Amino acid sequence: MSTLLEARRISASYRVDSDGPRIRAVDDVSLTLEEGEALGVAGESGCGKSTLASILSLNVHPPLQVTGGRLRVAGHDIPLDGINGGRVATGLRGKVVALLPQGAMNALNPTLRVRDFVYDVLRSHVAGITRKEAIARATERLERLALPPRVLDAYPHQLSGGMRQRVVAVVSTLLDPDVLIADEPTSALDVSSQRALLALLSHLLEQRIIRGIVFITHELPLLRYIAHRIAIMYAGQLVEVGPAEEVLFQPAHPYTKVLMEATIVLETGTRRQRIQTVGGAPPNLVSPPPGCRFHPRCPVAMGRCSREAPPVVDVGAGHSAVCWWVAEQRAGEAGSMSHAA
């Protein structure tokens, strides 16, 4: 397998005033996206998912600033000063890496009918494309999302929120980007529209029309329909990464376990129950807790968790968790195995 996108030790913060505090929304995050892969990223509200999406899709604007790390997308090295200054090579954004943004409100042009917007997007990137070809490509994808062709004649304000979100999904994939960064693309959709969008993205990936997808959500169980691997984010950092089946059904990190239980409650009950189950609030990203950031809310925290940064522990092939408790469990298992031998 070859690597399509690689982020290495990326850190980024928001600084609203030049002498004000830094909100460290992404802190030392490394991840890879392989050719043909859908990587799920899940975590609670405010943990930095959209910030990460902005960085990976090269959409960084003040007050966000990337302060460290390296990024490589589809064979292109992206220098940090380029990301921050918006000076990335033409053709990279939208075509090599595209963002399906969270909240579809601003992604369309309110003064243009969908049909004209679609044509503008395609015409600006695909030399010689005719209006007819552009509309045909859009219509095929709209149909896969159970949207009638008449949405092409509508202005954005004439569409419902769910329709608009699906139209934005179609627009973000129209250029057949190598990498699609999809930030909570299903949040405003009912269950059948959610499934249709997941099916469209899976189809584009299987047909290699898109070469890789980073799919961001706060609903971890949703990822079982699309993700090959899953990364769990907590307070600006990744705490667990592994094959989807393992992260979903044999999570290693205490936070992933809590998030999984919490979200199951959300599916069967109310949002209020979800908050009670997770317990406590995510930390302030200006001055996060020392040691492991999850320790104040962790059901199995130990003394050192509040003092020392936790280690990365391998718990299986390509599966790791960043946690002292997991490290102790593994050390205990290794000890009992060597006694048995």
Site for ligand ATP in 77-106 (CB under 6 A): 102
Q: Which of 33, 41, 47, 145 binds ligand ATP (CB under 6 A)?
A: 47
Q: Is 11 in the site for ligand ATP (CB under 6 A)?
A: no
Give me the helix-helix angle, 161-173 and 191-206, nearest 10°. Answer: 0
Q: Which of 9, 20, 63, 86 binds ligand ATP (CB under 6 A)?
A: 63
Q: Any idea how long the chain is?
A: 341
Cβ contacts of 58 within 8 Å, gap of 6 or more: 73, 78, 83, 88, 92, 93, 97
Site for Mg ion in 92-121 (CB under 5 A): 102
Q: Is 16 in the site for ligand ATP (CB under 6 A)?
A: yes
Residue indicated by tokens 């002498």: 19
Q: Which of 10, 11, 39, 49 binds ligand ATP (CB under 6 A)?
A: 49
The dihedrals phi and psi of 83, each to the nearest 5 degrees, come to: -60, -45
Q: Is 40 in the site for ligand ATP (CB under 6 A)?
A: no
Binding part of the chain for ligand ATP, among 45-53, 151-159, 242-250, 261-269 by CB under 6 A, reads 45-53
Site for ligand ATP in 282-321 (CB under 6 A): 285
**Quick one: tokens of 15?**
């600084």
Q: Could you tell me where the beta strands, DSSP code E, fall in the chain?
A: 3-14, 23-34, 37-42, 64-73, 76-78, 97-100, 179-183, 212-217, 229-234, 237-243, 312-316, 319-322
Binding part of the chain for ligand ATP, among 43-51, 113-121, 172-180, 318-326 by CB under 6 A, reads 43-51
Compute how many other C-beta atoms are within 10 angstroms of the C-beta atom of residue 111.
9
Task: Give contact residues for Mg ion (rule: CB under 5 A).
Answer: 49-50, 102
Task: Give contact residues for ligand ATP (rule: CB under 6 A).
Answer: 14, 16, 23, 25, 43, 45-51, 63, 102, 218, 285
